[in-house]
Amino acid sequence: MSKTIGVDLGGSHVMAAIVEDGVIKDRAEQDIVDHAFDVVVRSVVDVIRSVTGSGKKDGGTAIGLGSPGNVDLASGTIRYSPNFGWHDAPLGAKLRESFDLPVYVGNDARCATLGEHTYGCGRGTANFVLLTLGTGIGGGIIAEGTLLIGNGAGAGEIGHHQVRATDGFYCNCGKIGCFEAQASGTGLLRHAIAVAPSFPRSELVSGKPEKLGSKAIRKAAEAGDVHALAAWNRYIDDLARGLANIIAFVNPEMIALGGGLSSAGDFMLHAVRPKVEELTTMSPRGQTKIVAAELGNDAGAIGAAVMAERGGLTTRERT
């Protein structure tokens, strides 16, 4: 495999990496504070230039970039990205103006799925799903060895299927009880707030409210705090609902959980697995491994580099 450049663009951070055979050889990164399109393009160009160097380093043969939002894969235009507030932002065209290399742009979560499937925990699986449990929930589906793109590049938006359509939390997308609203880090925080009135002596809410984050709740649950455990159990119920739905749709060999919350590791996996089994009805039980993802924050850049190497998220957009 030749070296390619993988770029992971997020709402607060951009990282460009030189990747060879799924291994990051060099990286450059920048924080993103201004979401104006031209400013973000400048940061992306900067990090790519600093990682490829000025002829000193062996730069890559193509650029792959994963971005939040829905992407027109043929042009690399971001059709819409709620994270950035962009509509029809011509990211691919701007990068082609700056670099004399092939440029491919795809959704960041689909890129991460491609990375985990090619070089991470999904290696060798034909049917694989990645979920990133962070502030929101991103995802991607590999079906019979191929990343699902869908009609409009919207396949894999697993975060926005509803798991509690009538009694759930409001989702940023406008619906109620989306998987993302219930089972992301933000979802865990909302569960903790929702059950707080039942725990008037809770130490969780007696501190500074800005310190009440999903990590603090998870750690308190692990330590046996009753308020945190009540929130955690609700969280796990909703996570299990979503995972069981995914099994009903895709019947994958493996679902990998990545993103910040997946650092809960066995504490999460041991709690969620039996609930998923219970909720798995028509698909055969015990056929889907639920595991922690392997590549961590590097999955997106590695997957973007795979996209660059292949000439697209799948071979379909070449035709």
DSSP secondary structure letter of residue 61: S
Residue 171 C-beta: closest distance to Zn ion, Å: 3
Distance (Å) of CA 10 to CA 43, 80, 171, 276: 12, 14, 20, 30
**Residue 9 CB, nearest distance to Zn ion (Å)?**
21
Nearer to Zn ion, 36 or 194 (CB): 194
Helix (H, G, I), strand (E, B) or coil at 194: helix
Task: Using DSSP bridges, classify how beta strands 63-67 and 103-107 pair: parallel, antiparallel or unpaired.
Answer: parallel
For the bound state, the minimum distance from the C-beta of residue 158 to Zn ion, rounded and expressed in Å, comes to 10
CB count within 10 Å of CB 229 equals 17
Q: Give the full edge-to-edge strand order of the sheet including 63-67.
A: 23-31, 13-20, 4-9, 63-67, 103-107
Say if CB 295 and CB 122 are below 8 A apart: no
Query: Nearer to Zn ion by C-beta: 93 or 165?
Result: 165
**Minimum separation from the CB atom of position 11 to Zn ion (A):** 17
The CB-of-136 to Zn ion minimum distance in angstroms stands at 9
Which residue number, 243 or 302, has a Cβ lying nearer to Zn ion? 243
Q: Which residue, 68 or 303, is less far from Zn ion as judged by CB?
A: 68
DSSP 8-class letter at 8:
E
CA 89 to chain centre: 21
Q: Which is nearer to Zn ion, 76 or 136 (CB)?
A: 136
From residue 50 to residue 89, the character string flagging contacts with Zn ion as x (rule: CB under 5 A) and all else as - is: ----------------------------------------
Here's the x/- map for Zn ion, 7-26, by CB under 5 A: it reads as --------------------
Size of the site for Zn ion (CB under 5 A): 5
Residues 6+ apart with CB under 8 A from 179: 137, 158, 159, 160, 161, 162, 163, 238, 241, 242, 245
Residue 137 near Zn ion by CB under 5 A: no
Contact 271, 137 (CB under 8 A): no
Q: Which is nearer to Zn ion, 30 or 70 (CB)?
A: 70
Q: Which is nearer to Zn ion, 106 or 136 (CB)?
A: 136
Main-chain dihedrals φ then ψ at residue 81, nearest 5 degrees: -140, 105
Which positions from 150 to 179 touch Zn ion by CB under 5 A, shown as an x/- string?
----------x----------x-x-x--x-
**Closest separation in Å from C-beta 177 to Zn ion:** 9
Single-letter code of the amino acid located at 250: V
Give least dist CB 178 to Zn ion, A: 3
Contact set with Zn ion (CB under 5 A): 160, 171, 173, 175, 178
